[in-house]
Amino acid sequence: MCSTVALAACSNGGSTGSSSGDDYADGGSLTIAIDSDPGALDPQRSVNGVNKMMAVFAYDTPVKLLDSGEVAPSVVKSWTGEGTSYTLTVREGVTCSDGSPMDAQTVADNINYVAAEGNGSPMRGAAVPAGATATADKAAGTVAVKLKEGAPFFFQNLAELPLVCSSAIKNRDSLKAASAGSGPFVLSGVQAGNQYTYTRRDGYAWGPNGASTAEKGMPAKVTFKLVTSVTTTANLLLSKGVNISYLSGADTQRLKAAKVFSDGGSIIDDELTFNQAAGLPTADVNVRRALVGALDMKELAQVATSGLGQEANGLLTDPKICSGDTVTPNKPAYDAAAAAALLDQAGWTAADGGVRAKDGKPLEVAFVYDNEDTTTAAAAEYIGQKWTALGVKVDLKGQSFNARSDVVFGGKGPWTATLIGLGVSNPATLVPFFSGATPSQGGINYGSMHNDVFDSSIKAAQAKSGTGGCADWNAGEGALIKDADITPIAVSPYLYWGNGAKFDVVARVLEPTSLRVLR
């Protein structure tokens, strides 16, 4: 199920299945199943994938990301600039749910809030370049953005920025149980750990291609309901106990057989990564390469996707902004004997009981993973078995999605290895995850990583415009894979399924204004 961190986009695979036709019901309701609780609801202070999915219902973004990787207008209707200087022209007439304008000043305030280091937004460096400054000209309706250095995918990243209203910028606590955005819905009910209800806004008319909430069949209410079991979710979809859910794995075969409607594309399914903090065995690149080299990735890809996926060729899915295979020439080859030799070389030699040790200390790995996702749990168990055979003492720590996120991305617990799903939309989005500040320092470099080749490649790429830096972006990505900083395991279908509803999924985002209730 949905284990993606956030900040994502992927190719659109089109729609499948059939529905009862386009007989839409006015004033109806829809229920969307989610597999984990969103946690903190402030959209600018979370990298939780479920929170991101829900946030688009209440919050617009400056621009919209398309399946092609290009951007389309949203609150920002046009733009100019390149390098370190950009001008955004804000659409007139966009209003917040409290009636205040989502004007140039409010857009500028959002950019400045996320870009400022002291505010601790995990979107800093991802949705908005660190240190960016925005200045509004309210009369002209424009925002001038200045960057400290080039950002070739500035607008693709800006498509990930949820815009909050002026009142919420001044009072972040107001977002704990309510929304304050210019989106098509308003958060109207919160039952943490159970369900979240959104109510349709009247008068919203600035969605994609002028989409409005006055369209026939647009739901009056949308409820996100927590359902942690994949099988239960599939059963509820078949019976219309829920109308929409993202779902992957073997249970989707039942949905396909029943001709349930679906739309979406593909996603990187599970990425193996390590904590490189000082004192941990995985701070040693040879240990990381050995742990990856002990795994049959072709076999693991089938385990991680219930046989529905294939091996990944990079950290993004095709079609990529920067095309190419960064995995094959860089990933440590599957060779158990070579992996054992690497550990010997690193000083971790066989000891009594079969567990390797160094200086009298056993080679232990605390492996945290999301046990709410059955395929991720199966992948973790497979990996644990391979590492145990290599002489590693593996402590499998299955946790809820939120608990795992708090440990890995929040720095709230010990861990050595984990399975995640970054789901990045473009190569630039990777940067803060693999360089810079750690969670304890207010950043999202979750594994305390530092890769010289990655850093130098990214620096070169950022000095070039758009896809002109693709060779450098790919070199940086390849360096991460070569040093086993991160290893993408598989690509699998990423589909939302709907019964009693129709919708569009664009760049992996369920588009709220496309929702229609079927009779």
Q: Where are the domains of the chain?
A: 267-493
- The pLDDT assigned to 116 comes to 96
Residue 431 structure tokens: 């940067």
Give 477-494 as a DSSP string. HHHHHHTTSEEEEEEEEE
Segment 481-485 mean pLDDT: 98
Instruction: Give percent of the chain above pLDDT 90.
Output: 79
Quick one: pLDDT band at residue 213, thresholds 50, 70, 90?
Answer: very high
At residue 4, does pLDDT exceed 50?
no
Segment 289-303 mean pLDDT: 97
Q: Give residue 449's Cα distance to chain centre.
A: 19
Quick one: pLDDT band at residue 201, thresholds 50, 70, 90?
Answer: very high
- The pLDDT assigned to 466 comes to 79
- The pLDDT assigned to 334 comes to 97
- Report the distance separating Cα 116 and Cα 461, nearest Å: 23
- The pLDDT assigned to 351 comes to 82
Quick one: pLDDT band at residue 278, thresholds 50, 70, 90?
Answer: very high
- The pLDDT assigned to 517 comes to 97
Question: pLDDT of 11-29, one tens digit each?
Answer: 334 444 434 446 899 899 9
Q: Give the closest residue to 151 by CA, choosing from 86, 104, 89.
A: 86
Segment 482-505 mean pLDDT: 95
**Cα pseudo-dihedral 91, 97, 100, 105, rounded to 10:** -50
Segment 139-157 mean pLDDT: 94
At residue 6, does pLDDT exceed 70?
no
Segment 211-232 mean pLDDT: 96
Q: Give the closest residue to 228 by CA, choosing from 198, 196, 193, 254.
A: 193
Give 220-252 as a DSSP string. SEEEEEE---HHHHHHHHHHTSSSEEEE-STTH
- The pLDDT assigned to 401 comes to 86
- The pLDDT assigned to 250 comes to 83
What residues contact 217, with CB distance under 8 A and at least 6 apart?
24, 25, 26, 28, 516, 517, 518
- Report the distance separating Cα 379 and Cα 360, nearest Å: 30
Quick one: pLDDT band at residue 203, thresholds 50, 70, 90?
Answer: very high
What residues contact 378, with CB distance under 8 A and at least 6 apart?
303, 304, 306
Segment 193-221 mean pLDDT: 96
Instruction: Give percent of the chain above pLDDT 70.
Output: 96
Quick one: pLDDT band at residue 158, thresholds 50, 70, 90?
Answer: very high
The CATH number assigned to the domain with range 267-493 reads: 3.10.105.10
- The pLDDT assigned to 67 comes to 85
The pTM (predicted TM-score) of the whole model is 0.77
Segment 457-474 mean pLDDT: 90
- The pLDDT assigned to 269 comes to 86
Segment 250-266 mean pLDDT: 93
Chain mean pLDDT for the chain: 92
Strands 357-358 and 361-362, by their bridges, are antiparallel
- The pLDDT assigned to 20 comes to 41
CB 328 within 8 A of CB 356: no
Question: pLDDT of 163-188, one tens digit each?
Answer: 999 999 999 999 999 999 999 999 99
What residues contact 106, with CB distance under 8 A and at least 6 apart?
96, 100, 163, 165, 166, 169
